[in-house]
Amino acid sequence: MFESIWAKSQNAQGQSESLLAHTARVSRNLETLKRRMPSLHESAGMSRLWHRTALAVLFHDVGKCAAGFQSVLRKERGAEFPYRHEVLSAGFLPLVLKERGEEDLPWVAAGVLSHHKDLSFIAGEYPRGSS
C-alpha cells in the first residue's frame, strides 16, 4: 500500500520514488551524517539534535500523501495543488509530539518546514491566522 504513495515524480527512465523508499534513503543519509560527525550535537549545544532530526526526516514529506499532491506528481491531466507539502507535513507534528514533550516541536517543525524553502518564505505564504 505505501509503495503506491509517491515522493518523487517519474524520472527520464520512467521510475518514480515511493514515499517509503525516499524516507528510508533520507534516513540512511542522516545515519551517514551521524557517523561522520558523531559529536555534532555537542558542538551545537543540543543534546536532542539527532532525535529531533530523525523526527524531521520521518515527517518531512508526509504531506505528499494528499490526493491532490499525488495527482500532480503523477502528472494527471488538469491536476493542480495549491499547498506546500511541507506545511501539510508539519500539521501532523502536534499530534505526534504531544506525548514526547513540546520542547521538540519547534525544532522538528523548523526542520520539516525549511527542507525546501527558508522559513521566511513559508511564513510569507502562510501568515499566522490565515486559513
pLDDT 10s digits, 102-123: 799 999 999 999 999 999 999 9
Tell me the pLDDT of the chain averaged across its residues.
93
- The structure's pTM equals 0.91
Three cell numbers written together for 28: 540512511
How far is the C-alpha of 65 from the C-alpha of 32, rounded, in Å?
27
How far is the C-alpha of 25 from the C-alpha of 40, rounded, in Å?
21
